[in-house]
Amino acid sequence: MNQTRAIALLKANQNKVNIEKWKKSKNGATGLRSYGIGLTILRKLAKQIGRDHTLALKLFESDIYDARIIALLIDDPKKISREQAEKQVEQVGQGHLAHVFSSCDASLAKTSFVVELLLDWTKSKDTVRRRCGYGLLYEVSKSKRSDAPGDAFFLDRIGYIKRTFKGEDNLVLASMGGALLGIGKRNAVLNKAALKVAREIGPIQFDAGGKNCEPFDVARHLTSDYVKKKLGIK
């Protein structure tokens, strides 16, 4: 599939109600336009298109928000370079695009250099990089691959979050919370360590004014009946 056909596919799945919401929201001032397509539909379209590194690069340079999301989902992890990641992180901003860039099972988290990248980004002075770094840590925490980091790595990351969360930007803090949640679901040992820090942080208010979303209570999720049963915690 080429860029023209991919954009046509997006246009065919546009949501006019969401397009108007986009125009009226702060997203409309970003310079990007949108076809108002939700992430669930975009995932289906990405599967329909398939892995395509060349197309992904072209779509990411588009002024269409939905096309950039598709780009992040269809890119080939084996062909993504560190240079590309550093360039794109400068373009994602602080909105949902940054979240998909580093999380949501997108391609960047599947690269061979993801651990090195997240370690660098979580220590960065740049807010967006820190947020994306913790998004990548969350993705790595879900990995069941034989070469996935061990408990020592994750305990070290929990310790780093404990030392650095105070005074952190709320969106970064929410991303830290996501990482703690992912780590705390791996096993009982990591759950105990992650829960301790989650309780220190408390519920995270990442929605300005708290009008649209409830605070993100990581501790509550880590002590849910589902997690306790999964990890054999009484």
Is 215 a member of any domain? yes
Is 163 a member of any domain? yes
Q: What is the pLDDT of residue 85?
A: 97
Per-residue pLDDT tens over the stretch 114-162: 999 999 999 999 999 999 999 999 999 999 888 889 999 999 999 999 9
Q: What is the pLDDT of residue 161?
A: 98
* Burial tier of 19 (Cβ tally within 10 Å: 0-12, 13-18, 19+): middle
Compute the C-alpha angle 4/10/13, nearest 5°: 145
Is 75 a member of any domain? no
Q: What is the pLDDT of residue 95?
A: 78
Is 234 a member of any domain? yes
Is 232 a member of any domain? yes
Q: What percent of the chain is predicted at pLDDT more than 70?
A: 96
Please state the domain count of the chain.
1
Is 172 a member of any domain? yes
Q: What is the pLDDT of residue 214?
A: 84
Is 211 a member of any domain? yes
Residue span of the structural domain in which 139 resides: 113-234
Q: What is the pLDDT along the chain (234 residues), one digit of tens a residue?
A: 899 999 999 999 999 999 998 888 776 557 789 999 999 999 999 999 999 999 999 999 999 999 999 999 999 999 999 999 999 999 998 778 899 999 988 899 999 999 999 999 999 999 999 999 999 999 999 998 888 899 999 999 999 999 999 999 999 999 999 999 999 999 999 999 999 999 999 999 876 554 557 889 999 999 999 999 999 998
Is 214 a member of any domain? yes
